[in-house]
A and B are shown apart, each in its own frame.
Chain A
Amino acid sequence: MRALRNMLVRPALAVAMAAGLFTAGAQAAEEHIRLPEQHWHSSGMFGSPDLASAQRGYQVYREVCAACHGMKQLAFRDLTGLGLTEAQAKALAAAVTVPLGVNDQGEPKEGPGLLSSRFPAPWPNETAARARYNGAVPPDLSVMVKAREDGQNYVYALMTGYGDPPAGVKMGDGMNYNKYFPGHQIAMPPPLSDGRIEYADGTKATVDQMARDVTEFLTWAANPEMVERKRIGIRVILFLMLMTIVTYVVKRRVWADVH
Chain B
Amino acid sequence: MAGMNKSEFPNPVVNWIDSRLPIFTMMQKEYGTFPTPRNFNYFWNFGALAMVTLMVMIVTGIFLAMNYQPNVDLAFDSVQRIRRDVNYGWLIQYIHMNGASMFFIVTYIHIFRGLYYGSYKTPRELLWMLGVVILLLMMATAFMGYVLPWGQMSYWGATVITNLFSALPVVGKHIVTLLWGGFSVDQPTLNRFFSLHYLLPFVLIGVVFLHIAALHIVGSNNPLGIDVKGPQDTLPFHPYYTIKDSVGLCVFFIVWAFFVFFAPDYLGDPANYIPANPLQTPPEIVPEWYFLPFYAILRSVPDKLLGVLMMFGAILVLFVLPWLDTSPVRSAKFRPIYKWLFWLFAVNCIVLGMCGAHKPEGIWVVLGRLSTAYYFIHFLLILPILGKLERPKPLPESISKAVLGGAH
Interface residues, chain A, with chain B CB atoms under 8 Å away: 1-5, 7-9, 11-13, 15-16, 21-23, 25, 27-28, 30, 45, 72-73, 78, 139-140, 142-143, 146-149, 151, 182, 222, 224-225, 229-230, 232-234, 236-237, 240-241, 243-244, 247-248, 250-251, 254-255, 258
Query: 7 closest pairs, A vs B, by CB?
Result: A233-B261, A25-B280, A147-B273, A244-B250, A28-B283, A146-B273, A225-B90
The answer to whether B279 and A146 have CB atoms under 8 Å apart is: no
Contacts of B271 in A (CB 8 A): 147
Q: Which residue of A lies closest to B269 (CB)?
A: A149
Q: Which of B129-171 contact A (CB under 8 A)?
A: 156, 159-160, 163-164, 166
A1 to B261, CA, bound (A): 33
23 contacts between A and B (CB under 8 A): A3-B302, A4-B160, A5-B281, A7-B304, A11-B163, A16-B279, A21-B279, A23-B279, A25-B279, A25-B280, A73-B80, A78-B84, A142-B80, A143-B273, A146-B265, A229-B91, A233-B257, A234-B261, A237-B257, A237-B258, A250-B243, A250-B246, A254-B243
Q: Is B373 an interface residue (CB 8 A)?
A: no
Residues of B with C-beta under 8 A to A12: 159, 163, 184-185
Known: A9-B159, A16-B278, A73-B80. A240 touches B243 (CB 8 A): no
Is B74 close to A, CB under 8 A? no
B251 engages A237 (CB within 8 Å): no
Q: Per-residue CB proximity of B290-312 to A under 8 Å, as 1/0?
A: 00000000110010100100000
Q: How many CB-defined contacts (below 8 Å) exist between A and B? A: 132
Q: Which of A1, A7, A255 has the most CB of B within 10 A?
A: A7
In the bound complex, what is the Cα–Cα distance between A249 and B90 (angstroms)?
34
Q: Are A247 and B164 CB-contacts (below 8 A) given A9-B159, A22-B279, A255-B240?
A: no
Residue of A nearest to B403 (CB): A259
Q: Known contacts A232-B261, A233-B260: does B160 contact A9 (CB below 8 Å)?
A: yes
A15 touches B184 (CB 8 A): yes
List which B356-398 residues lie within 8 A (CB) of chain A: 359-360
Cβ-defined contact, B270 with A151, below 8 A: yes
- Report the bound CA distance from A164 to B359 in whole Å: 31
Instruction: Please determine whether B166 and A11 come into contact, CB atoms closer than 8 angstroms.
Output: yes
Question: Is there a chain A Cβ closer than 8 Å to B343's Cβ?
Answer: no
**Contact in complex: B247, A247 (CB < 8 Å):** yes
Contact, CB under 8 Å: B240 / A258: yes
CB pair B257 A1 closer than 8 Å: no
Across the interface, which residues of A come within 8 angstroms of B250, CB to CB? Answer: 240, 243-244, 247
Taking a contact as CB atoms under 8 Å apart, the answer to whether B243 and A247 are in contact is yes
Is residue B254 within 8 Å, beta carbon to beta carbon, of the partner chain? Answer: yes
Interface range on chain B: under 10, 10 to 19, 20 to 34, or 35 or more? 35 or more
Contacts of B285 in A (CB 8 A): 1, 4-5, 9
Given A25-B279, A25-B280: A229 in contact with B261 (beta carbons within 8 A): yes
Per-residue CB contact flags for chain B residues 226-258 toward chain A (1 = under 8 Å, else 0) read 000000000100011001101100110110011
- Distance in Å from the Cβ of A38 to the closest Cβ of chain B? 17
Contact B235 A258 (CB under 8 A): yes
Alpha-carbon distance A25/B274, docked complex (angstroms)? 14
Closest beta carbon of chain B to A43's beta carbon, Å: 10
- What's the nearest-Cβ distance from chain B to residue A255, in Å? 7
Contact yes or no, A236 B283, CB < 8 A = no
Which of B159, B254, B302 has a CB less than 8 Å from the CB of A241? B254
Q: How far is the CA of A91 from the CA of B265 in the complex (A)?
A: 34
Q: Which of B183, B257, B281 contacts A236 (CB 8 A)?
A: B257
In the complex, B83 has a CB within 8 A of chain A? yes
B155 to chain A, nearest CB (A): 10
Which residue of A1, A23, A45, A240 contacts B254 across the interface (Cβ within 8 Å)?
A: A240
Q: A25-B281, A233-B258 are in contact. List 9 more A-B contacts (CB 8 A).
A: A7-B304, A12-B185, A45-B262, A140-B275, A148-B270, A224-B84, A233-B262, A236-B257, A237-B254
With contact pairs A16-B279, A258-B38 given, residues A72 and B77 touching in the complex (Cβ less than 8 Å): yes
B284 contacts A by Cβ under 8 Å: yes
Query: Within the assembled complex, what's the spacing in Å between the Cα atoms of A13 and B118?
Result: 46
Contact partners of B166 in chain A: CB under 8 A: 11
Other-chain contact of A244, B83, B156, B251, B299 (Cβ < 8 Å):
B251
In the complex the two chains form, is B261's CB within 8 Å of A237's CB? yes
Considering the chains assembled together, what is the distance between the CA atoms of A84 and B355 in angstroms? Answer: 48
How far apart are A219's CB and chain B's nearest CB, in angstroms?
Answer: 12
In the bound complex, do residue A244 and residue B262 qualify as a contact, i.e. CB atoms below 8 Å apart? no
> In the complex, A143 Cα to B76 Cα: how many Å?
11
A148–B271 Cα distance when bound, in Å, is 7
A5–B307 CA distance with the chains assembled, in angstroms: 14
CA distance A2 to B247 in the complex (A): 46
* Complex CA–CA separation, A73 to B258 (angstroms): 26
A240 CB, nearest partner CB in chain B, Å: 5
A11 to B163, CA, bound (A): 8
Contact status A4-B299, CB under 8 Å: yes
Known: A240-B253, A248-B247. A182 touches B184 (CB 8 A): no
Q: How far is the CB of A73 from chain B (nearest CB, A)?
A: 5
A15 to B184, CA, bound (A): 8
With A8-B160, A8-B304, A233-B262 as contacts: A139 and B247 at CB distance below 8 Å: no
Residues of the B chain whose Cβ atoms lie less than 8 Å from the Cβ of A147: 270-271, 273-274
Find out whether the CB atom of A146 lies under 8 angstroms from the CB atom of B270.
yes
In angstroms, Cα B236 to Cα A141, docked, is 57
Check A254/B239 contact, CB under 8 A, given A16-B278, A23-B279: yes
Query: Chain B contacts of A224 at CB under 8 A?
Result: 84
From residue A77, how far is it (CB to closest CB) to chain B in Å? Answer: 10
- Taking the nearest CB of chain A, how far is it from the CB of B166, in angstroms? 7
A73-B84, A237-B261 given; A254·B77 CB < 8 A: no
What's the nearest-Cβ distance from chain A to residue B167, in Å?
A: 9
